[in-house]
Structures are given as C-alpha cells and as structure tokens.
A and B are shown apart, each in its own frame.
Chain A
Amino acid sequence: MKFPSPSSAEAVIAVSGLSRHFGPKAALDDVSVFVPRGSVFGLVGENGAGKTTLIKHLLGSLKAQTGSVRVFGLDPVLDPVGVLGRVGYLSERRDLPSWMRVGEFMRYTQAFYPGWDEQYAGQLLEQFQLDPAQRIKTQSQGQQAKTGLLTSLAYRPDLLILDEPSSGLDPVVRRDILEAIIRMVAEEGRTVLFSSHLLDEVERVADHVIMLQRGRVVLNGRTEEVRRGHILAVLAFAKPPAAAPVVAGAHAVAGYGSEWRVLFGGSRLELETAAASVGARVVEERTPTLDEILVARAGGKGS
C-alpha cells in the first residue's frame, strides 16, 4: 500500500513522527500523515484511538511532544493566526456560546475572517432552516451542528476539519451536513479532513482514509485501495479444526465447524496460499466494506 508523502503532492497537512503521551498512556505514537491539497481524508478508528488528539494537534490546541505538525507549512502553535484563519472546524462537542443568538454568533465569527461570504452564509442559513434570532441554547442538537457547520463554511476555508460531525445526529441532519461538505469539495476543490465512526459516510465522501489504532497509523491510503487490499473470504476445511485456525495475514477469523470467515490483508494469490497452508480452500470471497475492515482490525488489536 502506497503512503502519500510530501513529495507526492503539496501537503496542506504534514504531520511527521508525532507522539503524544498523557501520563503513561500513549495517545499518539510516531504518527505521520500527509494530506495533499484538494483531497478528502477520512480519519477512522475506535474510541480512544487518537483521532481527536491528532485533530487537536492540527488546530494547535495540543503541542507536539515529539515530531512536527505543519498546516499550510506553518506551526499551528507558533502561528495560530496564520493557520486558524484558513481552517474551518466543527467539533462533535458542539462547543458553541449557548447564550448567543444564531445571528449574533454569525456576526461574531464573521469578524475574524475577512473572506466571510455573506451571500453564501445566507444561502446556508436558508438551506439549514435556521432562525437567526433563536438562542443557541434553545436549539436542538441537529440545529446546533448546522449552526457550527455554517460558521465553519461561510468563509470558505482552505481546510475543513470535522471531528465526528454527525455524532448523535439523525439521518436527515447527517445527510444535510454531508451534502454541504460534498458540494464544497466538488465546487471548490477544498481540502477536508474528517473523523467519523460512521464508515459508510467515510466511504461515500472520502477519497483517502487513515485508520488509527491505539495511537498508531495502521492504514493510510486511497479508500478504494484500502478496501481492495483486503479480502473477506469464507474458508472451508475438510476436517473441522478444534480451535480457530491461525491464518497468516488474516486480521480476523470467526466461525465454527468446517467454515470460517476470514478478513485477509493481501492479494487473492496470497489468500489461497495461506488457506492451503492450514488445509482449507476459499469457497467465497468479496471486497469488504471499511466498516468490516475496522471491526476486524480493532478486534484483532493491532495484528
């Protein structure tokens, strides 16, 4: 699998050898990520895998203990104005000023971004059906997410970072948010990095995917390449094994009796060789979804 590097394209995000410890726990361990301009990166992983920690480093909320973080070639800790002025951010925490009205929050945010597009903000306000006179604290969760997204999109940031944007939202709001992101990317070729547990969203929107596991990058590549790099197969054994068979290259093995489901990382040929080595043959196979890959890898705990 080919890992994108700074030489492959102009990197909007360049994280190199980043490690972060909270006490004895390693939240990020030697993470290197390069996000080229105009791409949509999906950041996936279990809870506590380090997704939010990585995003906080990109925003300058956390300082790199080792390694380096560059966004647009700048250090977000040393030059927050230079970085944050070009970044739109929406957090799963919906940390908004609850006492403000939507209109007030828009005016407040507008003041920080010279590129604020009033016409576009008006369009989004209408599209999201938000009332500018409503107080944020009286909004539903979905309305708050839309308010946050509106104020992150209206100045057309060069980089949009979304941390679990659809967490806790109903399918209608999720669709609205995704459509807004897709339109932004399709029409203007902006760069997007978003983390999500909903891997069908990632598959739909992201052209690259990064999978974190216990603070380490375990997968990084084009979404289709990542999927095609795995095979979900059913292996048939002539004689049912007494315990789960150990298949080299398999991230997860599940089943019973003579038929076992295997999520295999490798080519068709490698799968057949591995199956033969344990006395089995491949009777069924297909390309797994990202969801299946994440579950298998998370279940395998870093195998």
Chain B
Amino acid sequence: MHVGRLAWRTPTGAMLWEIWGRHKLSFLWQGAALAASVFFAQWKEHGASKDVAPLLIMASCICFLGAYLYLLTSFAYIEVDARRVQLGFPGRLLLKPLSTARLVLAPMLFGGLVIVTVFAIWTELVLRHFGSVATSDLLLISAVLLSFFWWMQALAWSLPLLKGRVLVLLVVGLIHLLVAIPPQMPVRISSGCQWRILAALLVSAVPAAWIGLKGMREGRWEGPSRISVLWGRLGSARAQGARKSFGSAFGAQFWLEWRRQGLLLPGISGGMALLMVPGILTGLKWLGAGAGPQDEIQRMMLILPLLVLPLVLSLLMGSALARFDPLHSMGELPLYIAVRPMTNGGFVTAKLAMALATSVLTWLVMTAAFLCVALMGKETLLSKAGLVTPYGPVAFITGCVPGLLLLVIWTWRNLVAGMGAGLTGRTWIIVAFIFSRVLLLDALILLVATAASNVNFRQALLHWLTGILTVCLAAKLAVSIAAFAWGLRRNAITARAVGWIAGGWSVCGLLVAGYAGRVCNSIRQPDLWIWVALGGLLILPLADLAIAPLALAWNRHR
C-alpha cells in the first residue's frame, strides 16, 4: 500500500499513517506548546523568584494540558457518523479485510504508547521541577490516563450496542474519578485497592473494545436507545404542534443556532454544578460557621469553582460556536446555510444573539445553584458569614446584580471572541488562533512574572501602562472601524448590524468602566480605575466582531 512518498507494507502501518496524515499540522502546534511548557519549567528552576514561581507553573501546565488534550483526541480513532449522528470507529475501516483484533489493537496500543510516553517525558522534563512527586504516584497517574484513554475508545466504538449507555458512561467515568483521587485528599480508596481496580480496568478494556467492534461489524446494532426513542416521540409531538412560522429570517437563524448550541453551555454547567453542590455543602459544613477572615477565604475558595466553571467552559466552547453545524467539518459551510438570502452580518448577528441568550441562561442556572448552596447551607453561609454585608441580604443581592451582569458579559465574550477565526473555515487559521491565544496568555503571565521580580521593569511598566493600554485600544478601534467600513462596502454587513454591535460594545464598555470605578473607589484605590477600565475595554470583543462578517464572506464566497 503506497501512501504519499512512503510505502507501507502493512494495513496497520497505513492505519497509523492516517493519524499522522490527518494531524501533522496540529502535532507541530502541540510540539510548540510542549516546548513552551518545558521552557517555563526551566525558567522556574533557574532563577525565578518565589513570587513568580506559581505563575510559571500555571503557564507550564496550561501549555501542557492544551497540547495533551488535543493529543488524546488525535490518537483516539473516533469519528462522528454524520448520518446516525453518533461517535464510533471509522466506518470505512469496518469493511476492510482485516481481523477485528487488528482493528482494535493497532489504535489502542499505539495511542496508549504515545500518550503514556508523552506524559512520562513531560514528567521528567517538567513535573519534577515543580516539587517532589513519588514514582508510585506517577505510575498511578500514567495507568489512570491509559485506562481512561482505552475506555474512551472502547465505549465510543461500541456505544450503539450498549443498553443504558448513559449509565455505562457515568459508571466508567466515576470509577476513573475514584481511582484518580490523589493521596493527599482526605477521602480516597486504599492504594492496593486502586491498583487492583486499575488492573481490572486495563485488562478488560481491550476485550470490551473487541466485543463492541465485533458486534458493530456483525450488524448487531439494536437501534437507538429507549431514551432517544422517547425523546424522538416527544420531539415529534412538539413538531406537529409547532405550526407557527418564524417572524423573520433572523428569527429562523436564531432558532437554528439555539437548537444546535444554545443549551450546551447551560446544560453542561448546570450538570457539573449539580455534581459539585453536594461537595460544596459538605465542605461548608466541615468548615463550620466561623466568622474570621480565614474562614471567609476558605468559604470563598469552596464556592469559587461554581463561579469559574461557566467562564472556563465558555472559553473552551468558544471556537465551536463559529460552526453552523457541528456535524460538518471545520472548514465547511453547510449548503443549506450558504444559499440562504441573508447577509454575512445577519448570520453573525444571529450567532451573537444566541451566545448572549445562552450566557444569560447559564448564569440563571448558576444563580440557582448558588441559591441552592446559600439556602441549604444557610447555617454556615448566610447567617454569620461575611458574605452578608452590614446592610443586609437585600443590599447584598442588589450589589450582586451588576456583578452578575459582568459575568454574563464575560461568558458571552469568551464564547464570541474566536468567532472571526472560526468563521474563516480555514483549519490553519483556527489552530493558529487557538495557539496564539495560549501564547498570549503565557506572554501576559511572563510579563507579570517579570514585573513581580524586577523592580525597575515594574516601575517602567506602571509608568507607561496607561499609554500602552490607550495605544492598544486605539489600534483596536482603528481595526474595527476599517473592518466595518470594508464590510459595509462589500455588503457583508448592514449599517443596522454595525449599529447594534458598536452600540452593544459601548454600553458594555460603559458598564465595565462604571463598575470598575465603583469597585476601585470602594477599595480606596481610585488610581487603578483607568487601568481596569482600559483593560476591560480591550478585553471586550469589537475587532473580532467587526472582522467576523468578512471572515464568513471569505468562507462563503471562496
């Protein structure tokens, strides 16, 4: 079998080449991210001050995690069957004259080897610089990663055959979570037990994958699960009832966007919050009702994950928002969208509106989770805790509203910030954008770290900071105005859409600046206001949104 310039003599070789052929560009980025991770670790090791060290560790871990997650998906050998709308083994390979054992073993063994090796190399080059880690713990983590990877493959390949597949997924996920609890945690299973469970998981993963794949090859798929059949019937009844037409093309497009992605962020955030709330309540009860400053900080640390969760999730999901149909490849604009008589700006505006609606819904769900924590843990949280201001709960809640609004804006910002890159439909731009954001984050960490350790640099930076931020803001405005003007000239966007986007940005900017002013005054640091306000205006997306219709035009009219 000849593939490119290489002559693979075995089907296994060809299967493995496919991984390389598909992902070679992203492997370059992954290599760069891993190199950055090593760089930060080396810096931390050689000459970084104690203040800077945590930032460098964070930067190194961000680089590694981003690259590693991508590596897991690259080697998983899992594809989406667009017709059945489900994950599975690449369908084309099921018909090849190869034994099921070979189909199972090649991607599992090779993928497993790669992910364990990369982790081992990272451990040796990076993790060891962050503190002493016992070899037994590293072995345990490696085994958990391998088991997780193999079970991810086994389940994805055989999911259609499994009855109660949601339950199976949950059970396997929970077992891995239990096994992965580090030794420092108060609640954990014994080491011997951990290893016995892991051994069982590892030994059974390959046969499980083999049985699943063999079943798929023999056509033993029993059709959709009962839950999806029931869901389908409910949807059918709903569809028959819904005869009302959409008021406008925008309404129809918003509906499409909402149906595809609208409930994803609130659903995942709410589901995870549901899992986290019992743990938070247990933690609050364990902390007791102490009113000291340390108690407050510990309580805040317990609740913090609920605040951070939607922000992190929205950051991760942002790049997917640009897609019109998740079943289409990244570079493809579905024809049923492309041929609709709507301006590119119209499509973008529908996406922005959906992102705003999903952000609002997410924070309504999270507010419900907070209220749940506040009410169920009232003895420890709302009675004597410092969360209640001296002015009483009503004033506290009123004060929270602008904060909540800011969180909605921040979530929305995370969702739409990568839209311009995503709408181009060019994979290399999307990958470059993601990695450039990671690098930007690392560069900022680097800047802060240097400023923290070098007094002269810090003073110079603070002296010039207002000017730097103003220049950046001016550049952002200039790019935005140019992009809007170009878009208007090319009919990519309407003046009305420009008005909405620019107006929305101004209102959000004023809110950010105003809120920053209040906060800075209340903490008696009025000098900080200009930096916070300028930083806020820089973070709020405008150039991205101005470029988005042009990016879509570039994709739609190739």
Contact = CB atoms under 8 A, between A and B. Distances in A.
Contact of B232 (A59, A78, A98, A135): A135
B103 to A, nearest CB: 26
A108 B236 contact: no
Interface in A73-128: 77-85, 87, 89, 91, 93, 95-99, 101, 103-105, 107-113
A111 B248 contact: yes
Interface string B524-558: 00000000000000000000000000000000111
A113 B341 contact: yes
A26 B236 CA distance: 48
Contact of A63 (B243, B491, B558): B558
Given A84-B340, A107-B252, 11 more contacts: A60-B557, A78-B490, A87-B339, A89-B339, A98-B82, A98-B83, A107-B242, A107-B245, A110-B246, A111-B252, A113-B341
Contacts of B336: 95-97, 105
Contacts of B343: 80-81
A61 B338 CA distance: 7
B359 to A, nearest CB: 23
Contacts of B558: 61-63
Interface string B229-249: 000100110011011011111
A296 B72 CA distance: 53
Contacts of A89: 335, 339
Contacts of B295: none
Contacts of B247: 111
Interface string B300-341: 000000000000000000000000010100000011101111
B183 interface: no
A108 B556 contact: no
A175 interface: no
A138 to B, nearest CB: 9
Contact of B249 (A62, A63, A82, A112): A112
Interface of A: 59-63, 77-85, 87, 89, 91, 93, 95-99, 101, 103-105, 107-113, 132-133, 135, 137
Interface of B: 82-85, 232, 235-236, 239-240, 242-243, 245-249, 251-253, 255-256, 259-260, 325, 327, 334-336, 338-344, 490-491, 556-558
Contacts of A85: 341
A81 B344 CA distance: 10
Classify the secondary structure of B's interface with A: loop
Nearest to A113: B341
**A-B complex: 6 closest residue pairs judged by Cβ atoms:** A111-B252, A85-B341, A95-B335, A111-B246, A84-B341, A77-B557
Contacts of B85: 98-99, 137
Interface centre among B239, B249, B336 (most CB of A within 10 A): B336
Contacts of A95: 334-336
B556 A60 contact: yes
Given A95-B336, A97-B325, A133 B341 contact: no
A121 to B, nearest CB: 11
A111 B341 contact: no
A280 B361 CA distance: 84
A34 to B, nearest CB: 22
A161 to B, nearest CB: 9
A95 B253 CA distance: 17
Contacts of A80: 341-344, 491, 556-557
Nearest to B236: A133
B249 A61 contact: no
Contact of B557 (A63, A91, A103): A63
Contacts of B259: 99
A132 B236 CA distance: 9
Nearest to B247: A111
B238 to A, nearest CB: 9
Contacts of B256: 97, 108
Contact of A111 (B82, B240, B245, B325): B245
Contacts of A91: 335
Contact of B255 (A79, A108, A113): A108
Contacts of B255: 108
B555 to A, nearest CB: 10
A101 B243 CA distance: 12
A72 B249 CA distance: 22
Contacts of A61: 335, 338-339, 556-558
A137 B240 contact: no
Q: Give the one of B82, B246, B260 with max A CB within 10 A.
A: B246
B557 A101 contact: no
B342 to A, nearest CB: 6
A98 B232 CA distance: 14
A101 B335 contact: no
A80 B260 CA distance: 24
A101 B342 contact: no
B546 to A, nearest CB: 19
Given A108-B246, A111-B249, A81 B341 contact: yes
A108 B252 contact: yes
Contact of A79 (B252, B260, B327, B491): B491
Contacts of A93: 335
Contacts of B339: 59, 61, 84, 87, 89
A93 B556 CA distance: 17
Contacts of B556: 60-61, 80
Contacts of A60: 556-557
B491 A101 contact: no
Contact of B239 (A113, A133, A137): A133
Nearest to A83: B341
Most buried by A among B82, B85, B557: B557
13 contacts: A60-B557, A61-B556, A79-B491, A80-B341, A84-B339, A95-B334, A101-B236, A103-B239, A108-B252, A108-B256, A109-B340, A111-B252, A112-B341
